[in-house]
Every structure is written in structure tokens, then in C-alpha cells.
Amino acid sequence: MIAGRLPLGWIQLAHQPGRFAMALCGVAAAVTLVFMQLGFMNMIFDTTVMVHRLLRADLVLVSPSFRDMMSTGTIPRRRVVQALGVEGVADAEALYTATRDWVKPDGERGTLLLLATRPDFAAFTDPVITAQQHLLAQPGSILLDAGARGDYRAVLDGLARGEDWRTEMGGRAITVVGRFRLGSSFGNEGVLIASDETLQALALNRAAAAPNIGLVRLAPGADLRATQAAIAAMLDPADTRVLTHAEFVQHTRGYMVSNSPIAIVFGFGLVVGLVVGAMVVTQILTADVQEHMGEYATFKAMGFSNRRILAIVYEQSLLLAALGFPIGLLCALGLYEMIRAAVAMPITMPLSRVAIVFGATFAMCALAGTLATRRARRVDPADVF
Amino acid sequence: MAAIIARGLTHGYGEGPVLRALDLEVAAGEVLFLMGPSGCGKTTLLTLIGALRSVQQGELTVLGHALHGVDDAARVASRRRTGFVFQHHNLHRSLTALQNVMVGLEARGQSRLPQAEAMCRAALASVGLAGFEARRQDKLSGGQRQRVAIARALVGGPQLLLADEPTGALDSTTGREVMAAMRSLARAQGTTLVIVTHDPRLHEAGDRVIAMEDGQIRSMRKEFAL
């Protein structure tokens, strides 16, 4: 007895373990499908701003045509120098980006995003990179993303033994002198970091006067919004925009959400998952109600209210949600791990997503319960005679 | 004091009335048998007294509460004051004997009482099923199942017990035992019993036997006078 009531929903479910297991599988499959859709969608969004988050800056100067790191446009370098003259700015430097093919250790060609800046400018949030940036002062030296897609074990093992690895990029010899870990995205297989001098040598068509991004760091105590406004007032909005780092990240993420079909495609998959789950649970609960019509009529004849009968069905639907959800969550976590290992991309499970899917699972099962109660509502106690 | 008072009770299902202006009065604590051919209206009368159907015409008062012109909530409340025993035990197949009795107590709104479980165990013991609490219906004989149904109907002390062919699915010996158990428990609790049965051998357990025909009471006799 729980609060003076027999847990009839639970008792009925547990009495038919086969059907119970099938219902749990249905809920778990729906939960897994929803988690996968959300995981893939956010993985795409996250990978598009992965490099954004690697950049250490309070304000970012970008071209008005900037979309993401694969489509940045360029800004005049003098805008970076101008920003340096604004009160509150402690440091500013240009960042160059380029996508380049290179020959991987297995002889295959791969596309990587090359980031380049002055070696003595701490442009990155990752202290592992900052600690190795001085190695980039030697022309032709690069740092390799250990999370890049492909088999780089030989290179990484060599680096661990203190051996540099030489290869070719754009017809020029380069040397991998260090490593960091970021991961690949849908646009590129990984990231390389070089000095601005090395990039000029590797990308012959790039002018030093036209970097892709300006990184601006503020002096301690400087007001972010006031400094942003001061820089914006001084620059020509036709060639440069000033964004806070958060706006910089949101700009690309927002562009992807609203201008790509990704959210629609995965959103559709998510709805399909919930509908299929609701159908499975409805089907099973309806069959259970049908099987217990005689008992429900007896209960009603004995004095059970209609609400008490419906509560049995809802109890079952919510139990299926509560027990099916963790199974689906565990499946999704396992699949996330497999995907991380297979494609070297950051698929994560934030608590907010767990909470949202938990809520959606209960809503799905409550809807299924409501549909299943249609028959239970029609139980006539006089049918017992 | 009368437990049931019916005046001009008329009820039908579309093709003429099944009950025709029936008048009946049953005293509190009385054991009344209803008999008659199939279709004579005895089950309809039972369902009206049990508040399983709305009264169409006439007046019906059960345990001091009018059942004519009342809403569903009033009928549900009336059912909580009444115990039912059906021809087929109608036990819940997923529940143990004890849990089935607990359902009866829950329906009566007494399952929150601290002694609720003890009351259910006592009800089972009173029908000779002490030690059978954990058994489901598939581990009970037909007679034992009907005893559980009686315990479920009488737990919590309803003032009225309605039974429809309670021994119909049992052999004669088991039927007599079940009837005796039902009667002795009802007597102990002062419960009014209205029992529909075709079995004249059981009438000796009653105070009064009413024979029905064509929706009306044809005859009424004191059983002890037979």
C-alpha cells in the first residue's frame, strides 16, 4: 500500500514481464533516438564554434561577411592596430585562417584548418598550446591537433619520444613540433596551428595586410561594452564588426541554427522518435486496459471512481517513462562514446539535455496514457452482471 | 428500520420495461432471496439497488440515501457503502488474495487506516482462508476464490451486501459452505443481504424469499414458514 492505495499499475505491469519488457524497450528506443538526434544536432553546432572557443579574446574583430571559421572573409590589418589605440585595450593581434590539404602519415590527403598568429601572442585558451607556441617561431613549424580525424598514432608517438615529423603541405615542407587536442568538425578533419610567417609561406595568395580575425584583449577593469562601443565607433562598419566573444560564438551558432536545415532535419527526427515511442506505449497500455476491462468494471461496481481507474493507466505510463528513460539514457551514452571514438567529434551529454529529454519522455508517456484511457473511461460497472 | 425502500420502480432497456412499478421494502439486517426465471428483472433490480444504473422511474432509497434523481458521484458514494459478490468471483488475476481484499477496503475509503491490513487478514481468516493471503487466484480452488470475493465484499463492514448467483459456479457442497460463510459474516456485522439465486436449497439460509415474474413481485414468503 502506498498512501492507502495499492500500486495497481505497477502490479499489473510486473505480472506480465514480457509485455512490460517490450514496453520498456519501446520507451528506451524512443529515448535513445531522441538523444541521438539532439546529440548529432548539437555536435554539428558545437563543432562549428569549437575553434571560436579556442580563441582567447574579449572582443573579436570580424568581417561583415563572417559566417564561421570556414567562411570568415577578411578585415584590414590596420583595424587591429587601430583597436590597440582605444582606451581599455591591453593587447590585440591578427589571426589568419586557411584550409589546407596535407599528406597524412598513411599517405592519404586530408583537409585541415590552419590557424596562424604571432608566436609570442597568447591567442589560445588551451595552456598546452600556449606552452608550445614558442616552438612555432621556427618557420615551417606547426602544432598538430591530436584529436584530428585519421591515424596519427605514429606522429604522436614520435612526438612523445621527442622526434619531430616532417611532411608536406601545399608543396612546402613542414615539421610537426608539438601537439594539442581539439577534434574534427564536419568542415575539416582537424586544426593545425602555425606562426603568421609560416602561413604566409604556405598560403602564397594570402596578404599579411588582410587577416581573417582580430583578437582584442582588455586591460583589467576595462568595461567590455564601453570598449566594444568605442572600437566600433572608430572602425568602418563596412569592413569590420566588433563582437564580444560570446556574440562571436553566438553569431556562428545562430547562423547555423537559422540558415541551415540542420535544426529542421534533426528536429523532425526527434518528433518521429517521440511519436513512435508514444505509439508503442499507447498500443501496450491499450492492450492492457482491454485485458483488464472486467476487473475495472468490478472495481467501479465496488465504488472506485473513474479517476481512480484512470490513475491505474497513468501510473503504468509514468512507470514506463521512469524506468524506460534510464535505459535509453545508458544506450545513448554508449552510442555517444562510440561516435566520439569513430569520428573524433565532440558529442556530449549536458545535464540540460538529460532534463529536457526526461521531461519529453514523461510527456510522451502521459500522452500515451491519455490515449489508452479512452477505453477505460467507457467501463460500465453494470457490465459485471 | 428499512435498508431498502423501492416505490413504483420502473426500468427498461428500450423494448418495454423490465421492472414494472415494483414496490419493495427490505429491513436492515434481513437476508432476502430473489428468485425468478431469466429475464424477470431480478438482476436489473440488483443493479439499481447497487447504484450501478440510474433510476429511470420511481423512487429508490438505499441505506437512507435516495438514489432517484442523483448524479454519478452520489451513485459512486452509494456503491462504497455496498458490498458485491458476483456469480464469477471477479478477482483481479494479478493480485494476491490479500491484495484483492485490500481493493475492497480501498474502494470503501478505509485503506488508510493503520489497521487496514489486519482487517483484510481478519476478513480472509473469517472465510477460512488464513494462510492463503499470498496466493493468486490461479492457486485457489473455485470455492476459495468465491470466499476471497466474499471477504472482499464484507471487509470494512458494508451495511448492504448484494450477491448475484454467488454459488452458481460452485458444486452444491461448496455452494452451501460459501452461503453459510456469507450469512454468518453478514449476521455478525448486521449487514443486510439481498441474494439472487436459482438454487432453492439455499433458501433455508434466508429470512424471506421473493419470487419475481415480468418485472413484478409475484409472491413473497417467510422462508421459515415453508
Residues of B in contact with A14 (CB under 8 A): 94
**What does the mean pLDDT of chain B come to?**
88
Is B51 domain-assigned? no
Give φ, ψ of B210 to 5 degrees: -115, 130
Residues from chain A that touch B86, judged by Cβ atoms under 8 A, are 298, 384-385
From A380's Cα to the closest Cα of chain B, the distance in A is 8
For residues A75 and A139, membership in a common domain is answered with yes
Q: Which among A1, A303, A382 has the least Cβ separation from residue B108?
A: A303
Residue A166 pLDDT:
85
Residues A169 and A293 in one domain: no
A203 and A70 share a domain? yes
Say if B176 falls within a structural domain. yes
Q: Is residue A246 part of a domain?
A: no
Taking the C-alpha atoms of residue B117 and residue B168, their distance in angstroms, rounded to an integer, is 30
Does residue A68 sit in the same domain as residue A212? yes
Q: What are phi and psi of B3, to 5 degrees?
A: -85, -35
* Strand B216-222 relative to strand B208-213, pairing: antiparallel
Please check whether residue B34 lies inside any domain of the structure.
yes
Is A11 an interface residue toward B (CB < 8 Å)?
yes
Tell me, yes or no, whether A105 and A211 share the same domain.
yes
Claim to verify: residue A33 and residue A82 sit in the same structural domain = no
Residues of chain A in contact with residue B166, where contact means CB-CB under 8 angstroms, are: none
In a shared domain, residues A139 and A100: yes
User: Closest Cα partner for A212 from A72, A49, A51, A58?
Assistant: A72
- What the block records as the C-alpha cell of B147 is 470466499
Last residue of a domain, one of A239, A271, A295: A239
Establish if A56 belongs to a structural domain: no
Mean pLDDT per block of 10 residues along chain A (385 residues) reads 80 91 92 92 87 95 92 93 94 92 76 91 94 93 87 81 81 88 80 91 79 95 95 92 95 87 87 89 89 89 89 92 96 93 82 95 92 85 79
Structural domain harbouring A88 = 64-239
Q: Report, as an integer, the average pLDDT of B68-74.
A: 91
Question: Is B86's CB within 8 Å of A11's CB?
Answer: no
Same domain, A179 and A221: yes
Predicted confidence at residue B224, as pLDDT, reads: 45
The predicted structure's pLDDT at residue B156: 85
Contact flag B104-A302 (C-beta cutoff 8 Å): yes
Task: Specify the DSSP class assigned to residue A204.
Answer: T
Domain for residue B164, yes or no?
A: yes
Spatial distance between the Cα atoms of A137 and A128, rounded to a whole number of angstroms: 16
pLDDT-based confidence at residue B139 (cuts at 50, 70, 90): very high
> Domain tally for chain A?
2
Percent of residues, chain B, with pLDDT higher than 90: 49
Q: What pLDDT is stored for residue B221 in this prediction?
A: 74
Residue B225 pLDDT class (50, 70, 90 cuts): very low
Asked if residue A343 and residue A278 are part of one domain, the reply reads yes
pLDDT one-digit tens code per residue, B40-61: 999 999 999 999 999 999 999 9
Q: Is residue B53 part of a domain?
A: no
- pLDDT score recorded for residue A2: 65
Chains A–B, number of C-beta pairs less than 8 Å apart: 77
Per the structure, the count of domains in chain B is 1
Residues of A in contact with B94 (CB under 8 A): 11-12, 14-15
Supply the ipTM of this predicted assembly. 0.87
Residues A233 and A282 in one domain: no
What CATH number is attached to the domain comprising B136?
Answer: 3.40.50.300
Clarify whether residues A144 and A277 are in a common domain: no
Q: Can you give the residue range of the structural domain that contains B127?
A: 30-43+82-225
Residues A82 and A226 in one domain: yes
User: Which three three-digit cell numbers place residue A333?
Assistant: 551514452
**Which of A12, A20, A302, A306 to probe by mutation at the B interface, max B CB count within 10 Å?**
A302
Residue given cell 453478514 in the structure block: B186
- Give the closest of A4, A12, A384 to B90, CB-based: A384
B100: in domain: yes
In a domain, A248, yes or no: no
